Amino acid sequence: MRVTVLGTGTMGAGVAGSLLREGHEVTVWNRSADKAAPLGDRGATVAEDPGGAVTSAEVVLLTLFDTDAVVDVLEAAAGDAPEDAVWVQCSTIGVAGTETVVQLAAKYGITLVEAMMLGTKAPAEHGTLTMLAAGPAAELDRIDPVLDAVGAKTIRAGEQVGAGTALKLAANAWIASITAATGQSLAVATALGLDPALFLQAIEGSASDSAYAHTKGAAMIDGRFPAQFALDGLRKDIGLITDAARDTGVSTVLLDALGRVYADASAAGHGGDDIAAVGTAF
């Protein structure tokens, strides 16, 4: 399929690479052109502007950082895409942001679905993301080849755009919690005079075990945090989750605490590091 990826940051670049590997005809654009250029060496067409990127697209993926970026890019490109193109909102922008984009799509007569990406840099590069999709079934059927190229599985959360976002917020609340909890347990073990690796050995194979705890825990013990999922990106998501919880009457006690501990790690200079750097806050 002819697929355009608007936004080639950590996730967008990985997704574009997976699409190329699976034989799709890929066009890419990024506000910072240097981040899109390497994909040109791999066979993608590198566009100079969003409008030029979508002129022949069958599927347009929006893989951007926040609501403002999605709105700016969508407005810049909306009039240049074929009328039958399916636009896929993949950016984590929360409930209010998603509502804004849905309204904007209606204004421009755009066919919009969403496919949230559950995973980090490596799964994006390897095509093993979990895709959390939502929208009319017929439109999701049309983009199945794209979702299959970038994900190991797709979960259809509902036929209304916003259901995928809701599921992504719930999933990222879990990721934020388990990563911070891993850092806390390692810090407690260390403070009590133990080798922190003993904590990971203790939970291994038990009902409380988690592959994520081992992955992030190993980075915490090593003290090196090459970014798979940037800490400030998760901080942004925690804010979106907190807003959604507050608006629907869910207690934000744990979310507020998570917000503080990730903010502490960011303030110490780890905002661009992997989320495992939250362990430094303890």
**CATH number, position 241:** 1.10.1040.10
- Considering the domain architecture, whether residues 235 and 153 belong to the same structural domain is answered as no
- Considering the domain architecture, whether residues 57 and 157 belong to the same structural domain is answered as yes
Gap between the Cα atoms of 34 and 26, Å rounded: 17
Question: Of the candidates 161, 179, 205, which is a domain's last residue?
Answer: 161
- Considering the domain architecture, whether residues 156 and 171 belong to the same structural domain is answered as no
- Considering the domain architecture, whether residues 27 and 60 belong to the same structural domain is answered as yes
- Considering the domain architecture, whether residues 171 and 149 belong to the same structural domain is answered as no
- Give the pLDDT confidence score for residue 10 in this predicted structure: 92
Q: Can you give the CATH number for the domain in which 62 is found?
A: 3.40.50.720
Question: Of the candidates 145, 161, 177, which is a domain's last residue?
Answer: 161
- Considering the domain architecture, whether residues 182 and 146 belong to the same structural domain is answered as no
Gap between the Cα atoms of 182 and 223, Å rounded: 14
- Considering the domain architecture, whether residues 177 and 65 belong to the same structural domain is answered as no
- Give the pLDDT confidence score for residue 145 in this predicted structure: 98
pLDDT tens-digit profile, the chain (282 residues): 999 999 999 999 999 999 999 999 999 999 999 999 999 999 999 999 999 999 999 999 999 999 999 999 999 999 999 999 999 999 999 999 999 999 999 999 999 999 999 999 999 999 999 999 999 999 999 999 999 999 999 999 999 999 999 999 999 999 999 999 999 999 999 999 999 999 999 999 999 999 999 999 999 999 999 999 999 999 999 999 999 999 999 999 999 999 999 999 999 999 999 999 999 999
- Considering the domain architecture, whether residues 153 and 171 belong to the same structural domain is answered as no
- Considering the domain architecture, whether residues 148 and 119 belong to the same structural domain is answered as yes
Q: In sequence order, what are the residues at sequence separation of 6 or more whose Cβ sits closer than 8 angstroms to the Cβ of residue 162?
A: 95, 98, 99, 102, 114, 134
pTM of the entire structure?
Answer: 0.95
Return the amino acid letter for 7: G
Boundaries of domain holding 243: 167-281
Gap between the Cα atoms of 111 and 87, Å rounded: 6
The answer to whether the CB of 154 falls within 8 A of the CB of 145 is no
Question: Of the candidates 161, 186, 204, which is a domain's last residue?
Answer: 161
- Considering the domain architecture, whether residues 156 and 213 belong to the same structural domain is answered as no
- Give the pLDDT confidence score for residue 202 in this predicted structure: 98
- Give the pLDDT confidence score for residue 104 in this predicted structure: 97
- Considering the domain architecture, whether residues 206 and 263 belong to the same structural domain is answered as yes
129 pairs with which residues across the strands?
Answer: 151
Domain tally, the chain: 2
- Considering the domain architecture, whether residues 41 and 7 belong to the same structural domain is answered as yes
DSSP result, 139-155: HHHHTHHHHHHHEEEEE
- Give the pLDDT confidence score for residue 263 in this predicted structure: 98
Which DSSP symbol is given to 194?
-
3-state secondary structure of 84: coil
Distances (CA, A) of 104 to 98, 132, 139, 207: 10, 21, 18, 46
